Amino acid sequence: MKRAIIYGVTGQDGSYLSEFLLGKGYKVYGVTRRSSNDNTARLPISLNNKRFKLVQGDVTDPAGIYRLLSRAKPHEVYNLAAQSHVWTSFNQPSTTWDITAQGCLNILEVIRGMQKKPRFYQASSSEMFGDNFDYEYGDGEDAYQDELTAFNPQSPYAIAKAAAHQATALYRRSYKLFAFADILFNHESERRGETFLTRKVTKYVAELHMALLEGRTIPKLRLGNLYAERDWGYAPDYVRAMWMMLQQEKPLDYVICTGESHTVEEFIMRAFQCINIYEYRNYKEIDKKLYRPSEVPYLRGDCSKANRLLGWVPDTTFEELVKKMVTNDIQNRDRHHEDITPFEEAGNS
């Protein structure tokens, strides 16, 4: 039976990846760091599986990584652990560095010292491109990023990710490690952390939907920069790509994205439209504190290489993604309010 270790198993992607690997017959060691509250809310499905083992650990603790890898003797190690919130990284640059850059290096060093070396996966980020892009036709209309676009990171998080990305490539070249780094563009889901833009918006929309039905008012949605553009995909599609990469004969880096870019405002408008609100501006206010000292203005990936060599294509469209997230947040609210009108029928614009 194949064995895999997932660092970052309690996060959005870690939870989907653990279910995906269990579905493929793996034994999965999911690593969770110690916390004063239960942080396994995303893992009920995996925790019910006898082939899933939850173990304590932390990527900043090299000795613990060594003990786990020596004991479990995994075939594959997935590093999804990170301080992954860009805005937070400006407030906590050192912590972000220790987890997101040093944590990756700690795992690579342990693998380097092992006799039977597992395959290694590093979750790199489109944030590494920062404000850089290439042009297809030179007229600015078709700007994109791919595996060859130069990095110009714009946050402590992106700098840490770029360091981990380069370390993975260096260990692959220098020590013949079977190490891959995917450049993942934004991907969201019903399990997305609540302080990321998409989930913050869909939770608000669900709350507003309920409030309108009950004749209540709620405070406005506080937002930062509405004009940044992002290439948003669906997380389960992206964890499938992670596994597909590690099954390749030759370790290469891939961009994983949808190829479509939408503004933050477009995401918000779509989410409000799910509850039949077509003029959302009355419900939002801009809070300058939510602006970042330095922003990534535009992300649109080109994943032709992953299409060609992995046969990977995203299954979920932008419109489906927004709808899934809003529907899920409304259903979560509904569990406590069984008798409300389904949102499709609510005429509250």
Q: Residue numbers of the site for ligand GDR (CB under 6 A)?
A: 84, 86-87, 125-127, 185-186, 195-197, 200, 223-225, 228, 230, 264, 290, 292, 295
Site string for ligand NDP, 21-50 (x = CB under 6 A): ------------x-x---x-----------
- Residue 59 interface partner, choices ligand GDR, ligand NDP, none, CB cut-off 5-8 Å depending on type: ligand NDP
Task: Look at residue 293 and give its three-state secondary structure.
Answer: coil
Phi-psi region of 167 (alpha: psi -120 to 50; beta: other; left: phi over 0): alpha
Q: What is the DSSP track for 45-76?
A: HHHTSTTEEEEE--TT-HHHHHHHHHHH--SE
Q: For the chain, what's the residue count?
A: 349
CA-CA distance, 264 to 343, in Å (whole number)?
23
Q: Does 301 bind ligand NDP (CB under 6 A)?
A: no
Task: Please choose, from the candidates 206, 198, 203, the residue with its C-alpha nearest in 3D space to the C-alpha of residue 233.
Answer: 198
Is the Cβ of residue 39 or residue 276 nearer to ligand NDP in the bound state?
Answer: 39
Piece in contact with ligand NDP (CB under 6 A), picked from 8-16, 112-120, 201-209, 338-346:
8-16
Piece in contact with ligand NDP (CB under 6 A), picked from 9-17, 106-114, 283-291, 327-335:
9-17
Phi-psi region of 118 (alpha: psi -120 to 50; beta: other; left: phi over 0): beta
Task: Quote the tokens at residue 332.
Answer: 């979560």
Nearest residue (beta carbon) to ligand NDP: 11
Longest CA–CA span in the chain (Å) reads 66
Is the Cβ of residue 82 or residue 206 nearer to ligand NDP in the bound state?
Answer: 82
Contact predicate 258/301, CB 8 Å: yes
Near ligand NDP by CB under 6 A: residue from 46, 186, 198, 316: 186
* Amino acid (1-letter code) at residue 30: G
Is the Cβ of residue 87 or residue 175 nearer to ligand GDR in the bound state?
Answer: 87
* Amino acid (1-letter code) at residue 260: E
Residues labelled as active-site residues? 125, 127, 157
CA-CA distance, 74 to 120, in Å (whole number)?
10
Q: Nearest approach, Cβ of 219 to ligand NDP (angstroms)?
A: 26
- Residue 230 interface partner, choices ligand GDR, ligand NDP, none, CB cut-off 5-8 Å depending on type: ligand GDR
CA-CA distance, 296 to 126, in Å (whole number)?
10
Contact predicate 255/187, CB 8 Å: no
Q: Which residues pair with 187 in a beta bridge?
A: 233
- Residue 307 interface partner, choices ligand NDP, ligand GDR, none, CB cut-off 5-8 Å depending on type: none
Piece in contact with ligand NDP (CB under 6 A), picked from 11-19, 86-94, 210-218, 219-227:
11-19
* Phi then psi dihedrals of residue 28, to 5 deg: -115, 125
Residue 180: CB atoms within 10 Å: 23
Is the Cβ of residue 157 or residue 312 nearer to ligand GDR in the bound state?
Answer: 157
Near ligand NDP by CB under 6 A: residue from 3, 8, 69, 267: 8
Is the Cβ of residue 62 or residue 193 nearer to ligand NDP in the bound state?
Answer: 193
- Residue 225 interface partner, choices ligand NDP, ligand GDR, none, CB cut-off 5-8 Å depending on type: ligand GDR
Interacting residues with ligand NDP (CB under 6 A): 7-8, 10-14, 33, 35, 39, 58-60, 80-84, 99, 103, 123, 125, 184, 186-187, 193
